[in-house]
Amino acid sequence: MCDLTRRNLLLSTAFMAGAAKAADEINSAVNLAKDVYFHQGDLEHQGHCNNGWIIFKDYVLVIDANFPSGAQNILPKIRALTPKPIRFAFDTHHHGDHAYGNQVWIDNGATPVAHTGVIEEMKRYETGYYDDKPGRWEEAAKERPDVAASHLAPPSVLFPRELYFDDGEHRVELIHLGVAHTHGDAMAWLPKEKILFTGDACVNGPYNFVGDGNIEKWIATLDAAKKLGAQAVCPGHGPRGVETVLGDQQLFFQELSRSVDRRVKAKQSARQVFEAVGQIREQIVAQPRIARYVDKDGIAAQVEKVYNEMTGKSFPPDTKTSHQARLLHRHAHAAG
Ligand SMILES: [Zn+2]
């Protein structure tokens, strides 16, 4: 992760309510309910995503494969809690910080599991694996020794909509609720404990990368997630929260969409919308519920994405937003 992004994360973290608690929990396993754990990854220094794991009667299910170094980081923490075999690693989506550690889990006896959309996304972006020209893995390997030392292992247990793990004591439902952060997001829902692991379909802080998803559909997918009735929400990045985090994440996108929609209806040009990015940012920062979602460097790409979905048009080439979005993506999701 570049210095600029790191500084930005630090600044943004300062906005967050409960920042002290969040910092305390980074890199530690938090027991949420009997046999259910949440682990907030070190995003700032290592690019790691958050993880979860559930200890069933006979095996362990891990939520998100993380980067290879992220997987290596939590393996001993799981082993310290149980001698049971780790059988499954669920990729909430295809991004490197959630799926590139698959091989580490395979080497430790587990099988990567995902929604079928994860494979479709991998085929789209991992051209080095499915084709002969380098894709995202190769790009990440240039900057991350852990990726360079491993190799891409796509999930091999796939589900088109839902997959349930239920041993009578614990039940975990892996569910695809629609397009959101990517076209292959799935969440892990624990109906008995009312805990929801969302992957990056819901984050808790300035971590929304929008390049691979669809914001309009994302808002609808969050509606479906809200209907589950979660009491605890474990996001893909940022500190754990309660059910309001889903609504906060949704409101951030709704506010972005409302701002852009007003400008589109007023027949503003792409350049005018681009020039309004600072104003849109200020309007969102002024709202306590969603100020923490504002990434100073990333918001232009988010506004452009909404604008593109509404009009089919991009910002003028000289605004370099798409280049910036690619860079942000690389730092947030591939290179860490
Ligand atoms: Zn992601």
Ligand 1 centroid to Cα of residue 332, in Å, is 8
Distance of CA 88 to the CA centre of its chain: 19
Ligand 1 centroid to Cα of residue 250, in Å, is 16
Handedness of CA 148, 203, 22, 171 (dihedral sign): negative
Q: What is the mean pLDDT of residues 214-231?
A: 98
Dihedral angle, C-alpha 259, 261, 264, 270, nearest 10 °: 60
Lowest mean pLDDT among 4-13, 39-48, 123-132: 4-13
Ligand 1 centroid to Cα of residue 209, in Å, is 7
Pick the CATH number of 3-243 from 3.40.50.300, 3.60.15.10, 3.20.20.70, 3.40.50.12780: 3.60.15.10
C-alpha 246/C-alpha 287 separation (Å) is: 16
Q: Which residues have C-beta within 8 Å of that of residue 266, sequence separation ≥ 6?
A: none
- Confidence at residue 325, expressed as pLDDT on a 0 to 100 scale: 56
- Confidence at residue 132, expressed as pLDDT on a 0 to 100 scale: 86
C-alpha 16/C-alpha 303 separation (Å) is: 22
Please report, for the chain, the start and end positions of each structural domain, with discontinuous segments joined by +.
Answer: 3-243, 253-332
Q: Which of 294, 302, 291 is nearest to 212 (CA)?
A: 302
Amino acid of residue 75 = L
Q: Which of 160, 164, 162 is nearest to 56 (CA)?
A: 164
Ligand 1 centroid to Cα of residue 267, in Å, is 33
The band of 98, judged by pLDDT with boundaries at 50, 70 and 90, is very high
Burial of 134 (0-12, 13-18, 19+ CB in 10 A): middle
DSSP conformation letters of 191-257: TTTTEEEEETTS-SSS----TTS-HHHHHHHHHHHHTT--SEEEESSS--EETHHHHHHHHHHHHHH
Q: What is the mean pLDDT of residues 120-125?
A: 97
Model confidence pLDDT, tens digit, residues 298-336: 999 999 999 999 999 999 988 876 555 555 554 455 433
Amino acid of residue 42 = D
- Confidence at residue 335, expressed as pLDDT on a 0 to 100 scale: 39
pLDDT value at 257 more than 80: yes
C-alpha 250/C-alpha 202 separation (Å) is: 8
Ligand 1 centroid to Cα of residue 238, in Å, is 13
C-alpha 162/C-alpha 18 separation (Å) is: 34
- Confidence at residue 326, expressed as pLDDT on a 0 to 100 scale: 53
pLDDT value at 5 more than 60: no
Name the H helices within the chain. Answer: 3-15, 19-25, 43-46, 68-79, 96-99, 102-107, 116-125, 127-130, 136-141, 145-148, 215-226, 244-265, 270-275, 277-285, 299-311, 321-329
Ligand 1 centroid to Cα of residue 200, in Å, is 5
C-alpha 239/C-alpha 252 separation (Å) is: 17
Model confidence pLDDT, tens digit, residues 58-70: 999 999 999 999 9
Ligand 1 centroid to Cα of residue 31, in Å, is 24
Ligand 1 centroid to Cα of residue 192, in Å, is 27
Ligand 1 centroid to Cα of residue 335, in Å, is 12
For the chain, the average pLDDT equals: 91
C-alpha 257/C-alpha 264 separation (Å) is: 10
pTM: 0.90
Question: In the chain, what percentage of residues exceed pLDDT 90?
Answer: 86
The residue that leads in pLDDT, 176 or 331, is: 176
Q: What is the mean pLDDT of residues 222-243?
A: 97
8-state DSSP, 131: S
CB atoms near residue 186 (< 10 Å)? 30
